[in-house]
Amino acid sequence: MSNLMANPKLKAPSKTTALSPAAAESPEKERKGDRNESLTVLRACEVLKAFRTLGDELQLADVINRTGLPKTTAFRLLRTLIHGGLLERAGSGVYRNRFGPVTAQPFRIGFAAQGDSEFCREVMKNMEAAAAREHVHLITVNNRYSAREALRNADLLIRERVDLVLEFQTYERVAPALASKFLEANIPVVAIEIPHPGATYFGANNYKAGIIGGKALGRWAREHWDGKVDQLLLLELPIASSLLELRITGLVDGLRAELPQIASVPVAHLNGRGNFEQVLEVLRQYLRRSPARRTLIGAVNDVCALAALRAFDEAGSRHMCAVMGQNAIPDARNELRRPDTRLVGTVAYFPERYGDEIISLAIQILQKKTTPSTVFVKHQLITPRNVDLIYPLDERQELKIGFPAERTRVAAH
């Protein structure tokens, strides 16, 4: 498996990198002097190799892209192979393999990872395991939370002639440019968490996740504070995307469903951008100018939630807050195991399962099977009561509030 994560400018090792069209033709050129071999037959073999499974369906453009043959040559060979019974027409301009795979060449799938957060590491670990299990050649690059890096990586994956791209990047504003690049290169895309025009979406149902968290936070306030709340504090991340805003929108709607009187409570909005220490400093400043009051806190992710817990603890106001997180990262799960925690819960997205589902979806797309345009992940509320049932294999840590999440960057999760 090649890995461009360390340096996205490096090409994948030659032992796993598919031949370019020019390189694919070079053996044929070497054989031109051998009268015992037919160049036409060799090219027909290349066409057959483009079909990777029995029943695989390709358009003419797909065959050209995978073989590097001229359009007229590819078209003529396809017609000939149909007459020979090895291929069949599956529709207008669509060809189906009736013969079976000629080679065991694996699919080449490019994975543009978002960055190095805890969430991203979980996704990467499962993605690599799923690719190895399915014998997929996974080429990885790192977008490093950078729009510019994402655009450069897109060009790199196109040059690598991957069959499909798994795009996991932070910024909604560059999605159209990335989608355009891949569309022009005739490469299908699965967009992870941030929708891209024309791509299959895989990721969170952010509004639903917000609803789940908001309802749980409202129930907690009703049971422990008799529904008497003085302040609602929302930790947001406007730099990411409008989809992440739906987490907060859903949280407020869920909270109002359980606690209608919250509509009259003052609301403070803070920007959760940055790493743990940066978010913590924003909260420290907020608490220095605001008196301690009963505060419900809705966080866009767990790093913000843990920073809020630390800030209220430092201010001696731990008993005055109740926090709802998102993502169920290991640090948040360990916090839920503390007997005196004020983390009411966190909504799980299960990044440790992303690879299994995404690789399966990608293979179905490459095999031209019917797939949904949107695939939402499962969400579940994790609380002190069920954390050990959902995550029984966690390594337990003595967790000082917010540590070691303070080393974690706040990205789209």
pLDDT for 244 equals 85
pLDDT at 177 over 90: yes
CA distances (Å), origin 282, targets 277, 288, 299, 304: 9, 10, 13, 10
Using only C-alpha atoms, the chain has a radius of gyration, in whole angstroms, of 26
Using DSSP, state whether 227 is helix, strand or coil. coil
pLDDT for 273 equals 84
pLDDT for 146 equals 95
- Split at pLDDT 50, 70, 90, the class of 315 is very high
Classify domain 206-350+378-410 by CATH architecture. Answer: 3-Layer(aba) Sandwich (3.40)
**255: nearest Cα among 220, 286, 285, 279:** 220
CA distances (Å), origin 278, targets 229, 269, 405: 27, 16, 12
Using DSSP, state whether 77 is helix, strand or coil. helix
Boundaries of CATH 3.40.50.2300 in the chain?
A: 108-203+354-376, 206-350+378-410
Least trusted range by pLDDT, from 47-61, 210-224, 322-336: 47-61
Token pair listed for 26? 């070079």
pLDDT for 186 equals 96
pLDDT tens digits, residue range 271-301? 988 789 999 999 999 999 988 799 999 999 9
Please list, in sequence order, all residues whose beta carbon lies within 8 angstroms of the beta carbon of residue 86, skipping any fewer than 6 positions away.
Answer: 48, 97, 98, 99
The b-or-e profile of 182-205 (16+ CB within 10 A means b, else e) is: beebebbbbbbbbbbeebbbbbbb
pLDDT for 37 equals 72
**Upstream peptide bond of 404 is cis (omega within 30 degrees of 0):** yes
- Split at pLDDT 50, 70, 90, the class of 103 is low
**Mean pLDDT, the chain, whole residue set:** 87
Boundaries of CATH 1.10.10.10 in the chain?
A: 37-105
d(CA 198, CA 150): 17
Using DSSP, state whether 14 is helix, strand or coil. helix
The CATH classification of domain 108-203+354-376, taken from the options 1.10.1060.10, 3.20.20.70, 1.25.40.390, 3.40.50.2300: 3.40.50.2300
pLDDT at 401 over 70: no
pLDDT for 140 equals 97
pLDDT at 250 over 80: yes
The CB density around residue 18, as the number of other CB atoms within 10 Å, is 17
- Split at pLDDT 50, 70, 90, the class of 36 is low
What is the mean pLDDT of the segment spanning 375-392? 97
pLDDT for 29 equals 43
pLDDT greater at residue 410 or residue 40:
40
What is the mean pLDDT of the segment spanning 309-321? 95
- Split at pLDDT 50, 70, 90, the class of 7 is very low
Residue 338 φ/ψ region, left for φ over 0, alpha for ψ in the -120 to 50 degree band, beta for the rest: beta
pLDDT for 53 equals 74
CATH 3.30.1360.80 for domain 37-105: no
pLDDT at 254 over 90: yes
